[in-house]
């Protein structure tokens, strides 16, 4: 009698590198954000990607497509921080299974007004064909709105 496998087989099992490849794409994306690499960031995001940013502030919403993501999220966020100060993305945990990648990180920066900024973030990514297909972030939206947009 042949012993049964401990885990069920599936798509992730048939392609053991899928999780590692997806994780690598997310790490490259976070590095590009950290380094403010405007050329690398769009190459890592699929043309039809969807980003969901929670809260009630100017960059909150569901943005569809690279152009919308850049115009409504990436560019406005870049304008909120001091371009001469460090922008850190300290990754605490990464879990990848197949195309899904979960990241827990802390972002640290200085706002354009000179205020310190530190935010714990949980982000869920879906990666396909070497690009981010979707991103959903979870964070303290009140702190975010107050610190970056003077709300509340």
Per-residue pLDDT of the chain (152 residues; tens, 9 = 90+): 444 444 334 444 444 457 999 999 999 999 999 999 999 999 999 999 999 999 999 999 999 999 999 999 999 999 999 999 999 999 999 999 999 999 999 999 999 999 999 999 999 999 999 999 999 999 999 999 999 999 97
Residue 10 covered by a domain: no
Spatial neighbors of 48 by CB under 8 A, at least 6 apart, are 64, 65, 66, 133
Residue 26's alpha-carbon distances to 10, 23, 44, 123, 132, in angstroms, are: 23, 5, 8, 10, 7
pTM listed for this prediction: 0.86
The number of distinct structural domains making up the chain is 1
Residue 6 covered by a domain: no
Residue 91 covered by a domain: yes
Residue 73 covered by a domain: yes
Residue 45 covered by a domain: yes
Q: What is the pLDDT of residue 13?
A: 41
Strand partners, 122: 104, 138
Residue 4 covered by a domain: no
Q: Which domain holds residue 130?
A: 16-149
Residue 81 covered by a domain: yes
Residue 11 covered by a domain: no
Q: What is the pLDDT of residue 5?
A: 45
Q: How far apart are CA 142 and CA 27, in angstroms?
A: 27
Q: What is the pLDDT of residue 26?
A: 98
Q: What is the pLDDT of residue 152?
A: 74
Q: How far apart are CA 27 and CA 34, in angstroms?
A: 10
CATH of the domain at 23: 3.10.450.50
């Amino acid at each position: 009698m042949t012993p049964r496998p401990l885990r069920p087989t599936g798509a992730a099992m048939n392609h053991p590198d899928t999780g590692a490849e997806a994780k690598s794409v997310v790490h490259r994306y976070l590095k590009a954000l950290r380094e403010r690499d405007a050329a690398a960031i769009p190459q890592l995001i699929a043309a039809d990607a969807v980003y969901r940013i929670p809260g009630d502030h100017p960059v909150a919403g569901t943005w569809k497509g690279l152009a919308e993501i850049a115009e409504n999220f990436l560019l406005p966020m870049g304008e909120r921080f001091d371009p001469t100060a460090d922008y850190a993305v300290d990754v605490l945990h990464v879990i990848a299974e197949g195309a899904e990648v979960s990241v827990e990180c802390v972002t640290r920066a200085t706002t354009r007004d000179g205020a310190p900024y530190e935010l714990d973030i949980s982000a869920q990514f879906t990666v396909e064909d070497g690009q981010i297909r979707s991103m959903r972030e979870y964070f303290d939206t009140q702190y975010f709105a107050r610190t970056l947009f003077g709300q509340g």
